[in-house]
């Protein structure tokens, strides 16, 4: 059985003074919402005020959630890094895993955005591996 995977990046429009509170709200609501639609994934937030998120599940459910994200006023400049079928979930245990404030995040996002229009998917794979690694580590 295949699952649909969307990976995107965006620029945060959240004022830095409110970032921790707003992102905590995003994560809490996303966990609840994603659970209802059997969508799993991970969200990264960088000190450079950038988001990267992976959403996986039924194509209709993932597309529905992505449409809500596109209309969210807390971010702009959405870059689609991947939109297609995968053989299995990469984040099966997390309705939404979150990690922020790690120096590796900005680099991983920038590299994946740079390669988004190219044939190579090495940087996308590295971004997904960074997500898997970071969300599995304790937050400092």
**Token pair belonging to 85:** 């079928």
pLDDT of residue 140 exceeding 50, the answer is no
> Span 118-134, mean pLDDT?
88
Q: What is the pLDDT of residues 14-47, one digit of tens each?
A: 999 999 999 999 999 999 999 999 999 999 999 8
pLDDT of residue 139 exceeding 60, the answer is no
Name every residue whose Cβ is closer than 8 Å to that of residue 59 and which is 6 or more positions away in sequence: 4, 85
Neighbour tally for 21: CB within 10 Å: 10
Neighbour tally for 94: CB within 10 Å: 19
Q: What is the pLDDT of residues 71-87, one digit of tens each?
A: 999 989 999 999 999 99
The DSSP string of 78-127 is EEEEEEEEESS-S-TT-SSEEEE--HHHHHHHHHHHHHTTSS--HHHHHH
> What pTM, to 2 d.p., does this model score?
0.91
**Token pair belonging to 135:** 């969300």
- Whether the CB-CB separation of 51 and 45 falls below 8 Å is answered with yes
């Amino acid at each position: 059985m295949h699952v649909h995977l969307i990976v995107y990046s965006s620029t945060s429009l959240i004022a830095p003074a409110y970032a921790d509170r707003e992102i905590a709200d995003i994560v809490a609501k996303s966990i609840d919402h994603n659970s209802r639609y059997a969508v799993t994934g991970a969200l990264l937030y960088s000190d450079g005020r950038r988001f990267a998120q992976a959403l996986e599940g039924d194509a209709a459910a993932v597309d529905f959630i992505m449409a809500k994200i596109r209309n969210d006023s807390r971010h702009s400049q959405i870059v689609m890094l991947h939109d297609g079928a995968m053989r299995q979930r990469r984040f099966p245990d997390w309705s939404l895993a979150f990690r922020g404030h790690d120096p590796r995040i900005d680099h991983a996002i920038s590299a994946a955005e740079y390669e988004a229009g190219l044939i190579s998917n090495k940087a996308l794979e590295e971004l997904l591996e960074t997500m898997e690694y970071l969300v599995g580590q304790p937050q400092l």
